[in-house]
């Protein structure tokens, strides 16, 4: 049996072990907007269903290991506390990959990925 001491591992190594422990993982595309109305779309593999009553789906906008910065998604949610969780299917894998590129703030990942943006019925993003 493999025993790991997280104190002996880098954050990247810990993430790799955890990713392989919980696999396959569902992936979502979280769409958000900033207070200027700029759209952001970003995939999250740290995503899952947590509760039915109340209904809760969550994703984790964890900090980047390399420089401890946050994604535009988290920055947007702090400005406009709403988001839409879009479910990823296998047919979208190429578009999801394109949406994961670290574009500058204000770049619309829907456009970059070739996905069609539609207005939400209940929230701003």
Instruction: Let me know if residue 69 belongs to a domain.
Output: yes
Q: The domain containing residue 67 runs over which residues?
A: 26-113
Instruction: Let me know if residue 15 belongs to a domain.
Output: no
* Residue recorded with tokens 């396959």: 24
Which residue spans within the chain are E strands per DSSP? 28-33, 39-44, 47-51, 56-59, 84-87
Report yes or no on whether pTM surpasses 0.95.
Answer: no
Instruction: Let me know if residue 80 belongs to a domain.
Output: yes
Instruction: Let me know if residue 16 belongs to a domain.
Output: no
Instruction: Let me know if residue 83 belongs to a domain.
Output: yes
- Distance CA(59)–CA(41), nearest Å, equals 13
Distances from the Cα of 9 to the Cα of 4, 19, 64, 69, angstroms = 8, 15, 16, 20
Instruction: Let me know if residue 31 belongs to a domain.
Output: yes
Number of domains making up the chain: 1
pLDDT in tens, 47-92: 988 888 898 989 998 888 789 899 899 999 999 999 999 989 999 9
- At residue 25 the predicted structure's pLDDT band, cuts being 50, 70 and 90, is confident
Instruction: Let me know if residue 4 belongs to a domain.
Output: no
CATH number of the domain encompassing residue 55: 2.30.110.10
Of the candidates 9, 79, 7, the one whose C-alpha atom is nearest the C-alpha of residue 37 is 79
Instruction: Let me know if residue 10 belongs to a domain.
Output: no
């Amino acid at each position: 049996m493999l025993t790991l001491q997280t104190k002996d591992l880098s954050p990247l190594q810990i993430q790799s072990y955890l990713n392989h422990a919980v696999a396959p993982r569902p992936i979502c595309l979280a769409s958000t907007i900033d207070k200027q109305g700029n759209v952001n779309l970003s995939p999250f593999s740290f995503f899952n269903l947590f509760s039915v009553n109340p209904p809760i789906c969550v994703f984790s906008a964890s900090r980047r290991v390399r420089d401890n910065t946050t994604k535009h998604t988290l920055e947007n949610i702090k400005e406009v506390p709403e988001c839409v969780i879009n479910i990823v299917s296998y047919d979208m894998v190429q578009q999801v990959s394109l949406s994961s590129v670290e574009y500058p703030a204000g770049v619309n990942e829907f456009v970059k990925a070739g996905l069609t943006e539609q207005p939400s019925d209940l929230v701003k993003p």
